Amino acid sequence: MALSESHRQLFVDECSRLAVLVCECLSILEKDPSNVDIIERMVNAADVIRGGARFLQDKNMEQSAQLLIELFKGAQDVRERQEGFYVVSNLFGRLTPPMSTLN
């Protein structure tokens, strides 16, 4: 079943919004690496992005989201996975416009 352009745009908008949320979470985690609520929010956003990206057939975004999920799902402190933190931060930083504040 083909997506109508309006439905496709909804998926694009939601993935973009969630990519910004991931970047905002990463920014918070730089200052507070053991904030488990923010880690969980980030992983949940990445899970939704992964599904949307798969539906949109955007392999780069899907792989970036998958990497984030694999690295941080169940993490209690992002310092445990410092190298992965910087990789994911760079990937999502390129996917988003300048960050706003986290809601």
Task: Kindly report, residue by residue over 32-83, the tens digit of the pLDDT.
Answer: 999 999 999 999 999 999 999 998 888 988 999 999 999 999 999 999 899 8
The percent of the chain in helix, strand and coil, each rounded to the nearest 5, is: 80, 0, 20
- Contact yes or no for 102/21 (Cβ under 8 A): yes
Helix (H) or strand (E) holding 71: helix 59-72
pLDDT at residue 93 in the model: 82
Domains of the chain: residue spans and CATH? 7-94 (1.20.120)
pLDDT per position as a tens digit, 14-27: 988 999 999 999 99
Is the model's pTM score more than 0.75? yes
The C-alpha angle 68, 62, 94, rounded to 5 degrees, equals 70
For residue 11, name the pLDDT band (cuts at 50, 70, 90). confident
Evaluated on CA atoms 30, 84, 73, 94, the torsion sign reads positive
**64/71 Cα distance (integer angstroms):** 11
